[in-house]
Amino acid sequence: MDKEQISTNNAPSAIGPYSQGIKAGNMVFTSGQLPIDPKTSQMSEGIEAQTKTSLENVKAILEEAGTTMERVVKVMIFLKDMADFSKMNEVYSKFFTGVYPARSCYQVARLPKDALVEIEALAII
């Protein structure tokens, strides 16, 4: 199976040796998206704003690959503090309609750039 690199200026550039996303067959895999505004390269403040920005970055990569948030089947969320879970969920729920994707959510010791959240997704085309 061939794989295709997905890259868009509507999400932050990779800060290491990885791709923003990969399309393989009818699947799209995004790398973890930090809450960095691709236009300003600045990180948003607070868990609600950071969750929104991370999900907007995921959405931009999926759209570049030819799919949508409605086609997401799995989401992985990494939180700096599980105390932010309910606030993250409030924002997260606004990005999906119909059947929510399967999801994992973990509290981690530290995220790149000391972000409060990082989100990655797997979608079908």
The per-residue pLDDT for range 52-74, each reduced to its tens digit, is 999 999 999 999 999 999 999 99
Domain containing 101: what range?
3-124
**Against a cut of 0.85, is the pTM above it?**
yes
- Give me the mean pLDDT over the 106-123 stretch: 97
pLDDT band at 16 (very low <50, low <70, confident <90, very high): confident
CA 94 – CA 101 distance, rounded (Å): 13
Number of structural domains found in the chain: 1
Would the pLDDT of 14 be above 90? no
CA separation for the pair 70, 118 (Å, rounded) = 20
Q: Residue 67: its pLDDT value, please?
A: 98
We report the CATH number of the domain holding residue 95 as 3.30.1330.40
Q: 15 pLDDT band (50/70/90 cuts)?
A: confident
Q: Has 79 been annotated as catalytic? A: no
Q: Which of 105, 107, 110, 120 is flagged as catalytic?
A: 105
Could you tell me which residues come within 8 angstroms of residue 47 by beta carbon, excluding any fewer than 6 positions away? Answer: 84, 87, 88, 116, 117
